[in-house]
Structure 1
Amino acid sequence: METKKRVRSTQFIIRAKPDEANTIRNRVKLSKKETFQAYALEMLLEGKIETYDYSELQKLRIEVNRIGQNVNQLVRYVNTFDEIDNELFKALQTEINDMKKLLFDEFKTKGRAKLNGSDEGVSD
């Protein structure tokens, strides 16, 4: 009797906790795949992996902090001298408007962090 040579000769082994193993088994059943190997191959080759880039949000946070510090300095000045002149008031309004614009622009255009490195495949 002649033995067939395997088409897929490279083996991958994973370890899972009992609850993770049950979740995987349930997903294999729901996927209507005959074997774990068929499910795993499809998910690993066609599944969707998403990673997010939060660098823009971090830059926005730093900028908002700077504007907040400027506003605090202006408020401290007003509290110290019990008066505010038009120039300081306009500067305060400008800082607040800049902060609003940054926040609205960031969340209106992006809505969430940028998506990096995603495949076009679909996961379960």
Structure 2
Amino acid sequence: MSSLHIACIAGAKEVDEELLTDGVDVSAVMTATMWGRRDLLRKLLEANPEALSGDCSLLHIAAHHCQLETLTWLVEEGGFREQLASLDSKGRTPLKVVEERREGRFLREETIAYLREVESTETKTKNAKKKK
């Protein structure tokens, strides 16, 4: 585990620029997403937007860990809205990932409700564009 990973888990608001210039790998971005560290996630993505690769999107990771605030930020402000329909290596959307979770009932239900609402809005928007 690197110093950057520890900063992600600990929720460090200030990250030494040296840590960022040493290279941001996908696992640090995933760790920040899992732990709901939006401020750090933003810095990591700014430092290396190419750090996003792998079997699933950040939306899948945030959904799996019921990180509703991070998920909302990724969709509304982070530029990841188009990944709502993306599939992970098991063919699941972020919504399906959280629906399959068994624990964390309250956070799970809130996350499911949010994703359903956003997907519904996206579908209505696409249908309206087709009619024009």
Q: TM-score, normalised by structure 2?
A: 0.27
Flag the structure with higher helix content.
2
Flag the structure with higher strand content.
1
Q: TM-score, normalised by structure 1?
A: 0.28
**Structure ID, larger Rg:** 1
